[in-house]
Amino acid sequence: MTTETNPAVQFTPERLVKAQEIIARYPAGKQKSALLPLLHLLQEQEGWTSPEGMDYVARMLDIQPIEVYEVATFYTMYHINPVGKHVIEYCRTGPCCLMGGEEVYDHLKQRLGIDTGQTTVDGQFTLKEVECLAACGMGPVFQVREKYYMHLTNERVDEIIDELSK
């Protein structure tokens, strides 16, 4: 084995149970289907999909680590680099821009003092630009973890940042 494994990354007991439940959903021998859900679980726990974490998932599913890296780098939801405590993912696609998204996002960047792809120095916020979040009628929109924030205005953005900063 050339792969170096870091035993430090492990699911918590509750997540381990959840992971086993997920793997059991698929027909025998098709456990690779659990890869995307397990990467979400990993990210929920670790904040990002670290190489060590991905190797751990690969061992759990009995697949090669490269199969995990290929997947994690294809899908935009997985953070392959460390991120801040709150990741704000704002929609930059047409309909949100029609609803004034560009101004609101400019305000958001100013408020946080960072640009897209950056993390605030205190490690609280990471800003990511994403494509359509399927909430076009309620734009502009951003997402923080599972929560959607819709009908954004500059004032609303300030409120949300205040709330998350607490």
Residues interacting with another protein, by CB under 8 A? Answer: 2-3, 25-27, 30, 32-37, 39-40, 51, 61, 63-67, 69-71, 73-78, 89, 92-95, 97-99, 130-139, 143, 145-148
CB of 121 to another protein, least distance (A): 27
For 26-50, the DSSP string reads: SPTT-GGGGHHHHHHHHHHHHSS--
Angstrom distance (rounded) from CA 64 to CA 47 = 23
CB of 65 to another protein, least distance (A): 8
* Contact status, residue 52 vs residue 9, Cβ threshold 8 Å: yes
For another protein, the closer of residues 74 and 122 by Cβ is 74
CB of 137 to another protein, least distance (A): 4
For another protein, the closer of residues 132 and 161 by Cβ is 132
Residues annotated within the binding site are: 91, 96, 132, 136
For another protein, the closer of residues 2 and 121 by Cβ is 2
Joined together, the tokens standing for residue 149 give 């924030």
Provide CB contacts within 8 A for 44, sequence distance 6+: 15
Residue 56 amino acid letter? Y
